[in-house]
Amino acid sequence: MTTKTLEEITANPVTTTDPRLHITMPNRKLPVGAHTFQLEVVDDSGNVSKPALVQVIVVDSEAPTAVLTLLNEDGEVVADKRVPHGAGFILSGERSVDAGGGRIVKYTWSRVPV
């Protein structure tokens, strides 16, 4: 089996004598969605096949991580989590991430009863 990076197969077609190609993604990852790859083979007489195509669908199967930060009304982090009585404050979910390759598209806020 031949191993190539995603960058290598994206930059130029890769030719091997192996029937298997292992594609690694140490630096660049395929984004979520459909991606098409192509294979052409050549026989010992030099005849070239028609291209065979496969669609690889990259899915986001990891749950995102919610990160909630308390800010004062000036947008500064409140490290001790204390706000003056009657003062407004800001809840920020900006540091939340989706490590599974997707993007966060909805934030649902609620107050949890004590």
Sequence spans of domains, the chain: 2-58, 60-114
- Which burial class, exposed, middle or buried, applies to 108 when counting CB atoms under 10 A from its CB (0-12, 13-18, 19+)? exposed
Model pTM score:
0.68
Identity at 7, one-letter amino acid code: E
Mean pLDDT value of segment 35-54: 96
pLDDT of residue 103: 87
pLDDT at 12 exceeding the cut of 90: yes
pLDDT at 47 exceeding the cut of 90: yes
Give the model confidence (pLDDT) of 56-108 as tens digits.
999 988 899 999 999 999 999 999 999 999 999 999 999 999 988 888 999 99
